[in-house]
Amino acid sequence: MSSKIEEWVERKLETAERLGRGEAGGGYPEACLVISAVLSGIASDLWPGKRIDQRRFVEMWVRYAPDDLGANLISLPALIKTLEGRDQIKSASTLRATCPETLGIGYEFIVARGEQVDLTAEGVLRLCPELETKLVREHAYSSLFYDQVRCMYSHEYKLGEFATEVPMVSPGSGMGVS
């Protein structure tokens, strides 16, 4: 990126951080909208075209996000909920069994970090080869952010069912995670 673009991105990210801290009457939703717009703009520059916003947004995250953000990790709680809603109980049970202390029945309110419960798409498909790759990848963090945060805030003024404004697993949140 040119220094002019880098400066522009840095200013937008600083604005998002300030909004996220509550400045100017902002909050998490406003910070997400700014960050999403910046990411969409960069993705659009990288891969011009129409009707490919989600694909390029997710692709950018997967290619360029730091590894510790887990853009490729599959949210097992979200995938399990979807599978149960589709009556794919065998696959849901197989995935629950990977981490019974956090994903087992009765543990729905346990707060766990992604690396404690989530897997790569390859890991999910190894356990449940009957699942479609597309369905699994729709539950990657990058896809869920696009669908459940970016699109929901942009079009419906609220978060999707698999997202929350509460920083439950951030260090120092008092939720017992480190």
CA distance 13 to 8: 9
Return the higher-pLDDT residue of 24 and 109.
24
CA distance 17 to 13: 6
Both tokens of 133, joined, read 């790759």
pLDDT in tens, 144-159: 999 999 999 989 889 8
| pTM summary value | 0.81
pLDDT recorded at residue 73? 92
Domain residues of the chain, as ranges?
3-69+147-156, 76-137
Mean pLDDT of all residues in 112-129: 83
Residue 174: other Cβ atoms inside 10 A:
7
